[in-house]
Amino acid sequence: MERGLYIAASGMLAEQVRQDQIANDLANGSTPGYKADRATQRSFGDILLANSVTGQTVGPLGLGSRIDSMGNQVMGKNGGPVTVGPTGRPDPRQLGLFNLTAPRKIGNSYVTGAAAGQATGTIRQGALEGSNADPSRSMVDMIASFRAFESGQRVIHTIDETLQKASNIVGGLP
């Protein structure tokens, strides 16, 4: 079977998940406390191809892309995870508010960086935080994702036409 079909299809599936997340961001643009989702994509590990007769290495072959979801816990003041009590709310004394040096977002709302002391903001129990979803950015992301999805469709269509021509030529030989 043509491996290019699988690689293009895996990219299309990853873009479909990304489009679903972007649509969710757009739908929740005014929901209090909503945090926008961001899907990161990475390639599956490469496999090493070898000649089945001689055993000589041919080279690596990529297997497509996938969504990489991290699912990390929220860290509190003591460096441990914040726990939710029986009322469904965390203990406000567990929550930490820090300044970060060189903050870097990785994956689904995961931010890394070195803690650089107490931040100047406040944590208020019962207050509603606004949504951080940006409709303008979401629309730009949706257009980019749709174009990537269309590219995968064109690749599959091209491979399909090539395979059809090859089978017609081979089938027409005496």
Which has the closest alpha carbon to 141: 18, 54, 52, 17? 18
Kindly state the DSSP code that residue 86 receives in the 8-state scheme.
T
Residue found by looking up tokens 């940006």 in the block: 134
pLDDT band at 152 (very low <50, low <70, confident <90, very high): very high
In the prediction, which pLDDT does 77 show?
76
Digit-coded pLDDT (tens) for 97-143: 778 788 776 655 566 778 777 777 777 777 777 888 899 999 999 99
Digit-coded pLDDT (tens) for 55-74: 787 777 666 666 667 556 77
Domain boundaries, the chain: 3-70+137-172
Cα distances (Å, whole numbers) of residue 43 to 58, 79, 94: 20, 32, 37
Cβ(76)–Cβ(64) below 8 Å: no
**12 Cα distance to chain centroid:** 13
